[in-house]
Chain A
Amino acid sequence: MDWVYLIEVLVGGLLSGVMYSLVAIGFVLIYKSSGIFNFAQGTMLLFASLTFVKMTENGIGFWTALFIAAGIMVIFGVATERFVIRPLANQNLLALFMATVGLATFQEGFSQFIWDSDVHGLQMNKFLDIGLLDPNPIFMSDHIPWLDILIPQFDIFASLVAGLMIVVLAFFFQKTKTGLSLRAVSDDHMAAMAVGIPLQTVWAVVWAVTGIIALVSGLLWAERVSVSFTLIEAVMKALPVILIGGLTSIPGAIVGGLVIGVGEKLGEIYLADVFGGQGIELWFAYFMALMFLVVRPQGMFGEKLIERV
């Protein structure tokens, strides 16, 4: 067996896993703070990055565009809370899920309606010159003599961003009072209202933050693929990730991402022949998640289901 090749595959898998985690974080944030399975995460990615790209294409500077796009995402998040989530507080979770499906559809149409449906390229290093975005990959053999593989510097940057977001959010949920009340909200909307947690304010903040996360992860994704319809499929890819990690766990989002990223690459290389066809990447992640969930229905770090009659 070619070990260097294997390691290269593993590293490649880990790095693509990070990309999944980026989307998964937004998911988990909403789920953990309201119990809502936010299907609109992918379209938020599209909307955010499309807004950004259209602005830079029209000659607005990088930071200004980033700032305005973040502002738009915040407004969008607050509006979502006001017009979609607030009237539906205390409804059953299936209804809320469907509302986010509706939101996703709306946003898919809306973002392509006001902007366009073209495929846009995005070269962030055109704007950002912070070294890490250097398109030239790092040669690992410069640092570790026997490891002769390439790692794109961009991927390292993406991993750092993901890691940072996860640390901040995990701290926020476990250690702060607001984090605690958010966990309470996801358990029982009605009771949370009764003890005086201002659901509406809290949710508006969460959706605004999710909007910004969507912008960040949307830009990173867009750098890798492109700004187009395909971004919506990022959400489909992130689905097995959050389910493996456990819907309620922020660290689970990153671990799940890495597991899926690596598993997918290994599967494509070692199992594709077994199945006699190419492209098993299409469904392999779901199968992995399925196998995993059958053993552990609440995911790796998910909260244990408490059920009493």
Chain B
Amino acid sequence: MIYRETGHFVTNYLKDREIFPMTFDKVVALIGLLWLFLWVPTTSEYFLSAHVIPILAVGLATVGLNILTGLTGQLSLGTAGFMCVGAFGTYNLMLRVPDYLMSLPVALLMSGIFAGLVGVVFGLPAIRIKGFYLLVSTLAAQYFVWWFFNSYAWFLNYESSGVVAIAPKFYDYWGLGNLLGVDMQGYPARYLLALVVCIGLSYFAKNLLRSNTGRNFMSVRDRDIAASVMGISVPRAKLLAFFISCFYCGVAGGIYSFLYIGNVDLMIYEVDRSFTILFMLIIGGLGSISGSWLGAIFVYEFPIVFTWVGDFIFQGAFNTAVVENVSNMVYGVFIIALLIREPGGFAALWATTKQKLRMWPYPH
């Protein structure tokens, strides 16, 4: 047996807290991580631009929603709105702040903070409103943000078409590209930036989950009155969750607009996208960071794979409407089936499988 958990003993608390407690896991994780970076030259620009980077963007937004919904139990339908703040924030920071002060990574993080603050404003009602009633606040955020950027043309630099292309100079990184002789606007460079941000923020989220703050969030989710009796400040926990979650969504929006499509377009941040991200979260599993990524991959890739199957096997029998409708049906069935069989989503499916394998060949 290559992989077994017997014989692994934890002798101190530090070891007990490790994300990958076993040497085998550690090695696999490290190789995986390295591979994510070193794999770039072997792949095509197309694959990066059409599959990997968008998944990184929406996956990050899913992680953000997970912090709010999965961890703190505050239902949100405003994800796309917060992503929108991130995208427009990044654009305006790049446009209006002098070049020597601003660079894309900085702009991404700063616009994440903007989005977080907007999130806190719309999270304020959460102090008083609970449960489904809170949907109205996040929906207000979604529609208000959308309307706001639509109405005030200043944010789009008075572009009449409603879409602004991103100037190549925004990918300058203080001249780093010239220095290294790398095309920083090219997809490999974009991918690496997105990857670093996503890994960093996922790591942060994973640790948040296991920290005191994360436990406060979870106690608010499970029973907010009990949490307040325990001395946890429920309003503070909720607002902090809104801030962190919307920060993630904002950064994700920046990545989506700047590193994936290359323009800032209001139309892609409509309420449908909020739902898509909610699907990713549910299918992946609430409360699990790796689950969020799995969910994002599944939901994003399914229509693509389905079209591909249609093209190759049925000679292009499926037009876009069919693909969209069938995808919707499949998501729906998947969500319902998962909720019935395994409410924890892909993440829990994985955990149960592991548990079963441990017991194998005995059923329990």
**A residues neighboring B (CB under 8 Å):** 37, 83-84, 87-88, 91, 93-95, 97-99, 101-110, 112-113, 116-117, 236, 239-240, 243, 247, 275-280, 282-283, 286-287, 289-290, 293-294, 297-299, 305, 307-309
Q: Is the CB of A94 within 8 A of B75?
A: yes
Chain B nearest CB: distance from A140 CB in Å?
34
Which residues in window 63-106 of B have CB below 8 A to A?
A: 73, 75
* Identity of the chain B residue whose Cβ is nearest the Cβ of A117 in the assembled complex: B321
Chain A nearest CB: distance from B292 CB in Å?
15
* Identity of the chain A residue whose Cβ is nearest the Cβ of B151 in the assembled complex: A277
* Identity of the chain B residue whose Cβ is nearest the Cβ of A104 in the assembled complex: B332
Chain B nearest CB: distance from A160 CB in Å?
29
What residues on B are CB-neighbors of A307 within 8 Å? Answer: 225
Q: Is the CB of B226 within 8 A of A99?
A: no
Q: Is the CB of A279 within 8 A of B140?
A: no
Assess A290 versus B137: contact at CB under 8 Å? Given A105-B335, A309-B229.
yes
Q: Is the CB of B128 within 8 A of A293?
A: yes
Answer yes or no: B340 CB below 8 A from chain A CBs.
yes
Chain B nearest CB: distance from A106 CB in Å?
3
A84 to B152, CA, bound (A): 44
Chain A nearest CB: distance from B260 CB in Å?
24
Assess A294 versus B129: contact at CB under 8 Å? Given A98-B335, A98-B339, A286-B136.
yes
13 residue pairs A–B, Cβ–Cβ below 8 Å: A87-B340, A99-B340, A103-B332, A103-B336, A106-B329, A108-B325, A236-B271, A279-B151, A282-B143, A286-B137, A293-B125, A293-B133, A309-B225
Interface centre among A95, A112, A290 (most CB of B within 10 A): A290
Assess A297 versus B332: contact at CB under 8 Å? Given A94-B75, A109-B327, A112-B325.
no
Q: Is the CB of B132 within 8 A of A97?
A: yes
A37 to B128, CA, bound (A): 20
Q: Is the interface of A mostly helix, strand, loop or mixed?
A: helix
Assess A37 versus B328: contact at CB under 8 Å? Given A88-B340, A102-B334, A287-B140.
no
* Identity of the chain A residue whose Cβ is nearest the Cβ of B148 in the assembled complex: A277
What residues on B are CB-neighbors of A308 within 8 Å? Answer: 225
A295 to B225, CA, bound (A): 20
Q: Is the CB of B136 within 8 A of A293?
A: yes
Interface string of B268-291 (1 = CB under 8 A from A): 000100010011001000000000
A83 to B282, CA, bound (A): 18
What residues on A are CB-neighbors of B331 within 8 Å? Answer: 102, 105-106, 109
Q: Is the CB of A297 within 8 A of B147?
A: no
What residues on A are CB-neighbors of B226 within 8 Å? Answer: 309
Interface string of B117-143 (1 = CB under 8 A from A): 000000001001111110111011001
Answer yes or no: B24 CB below 8 A from chain A CBs.
no
What residues on B are CB-neighbors of A91 within 8 Å? Answer: 339, 343
In the A-B complex, the 9 residue pairs with the smallest Cβ-Cβ separation, listed nearest first, are A106-B332, A109-B328, A102-B335, A277-B151, A286-B140, A283-B143, A109-B329, A105-B332, A113-B325
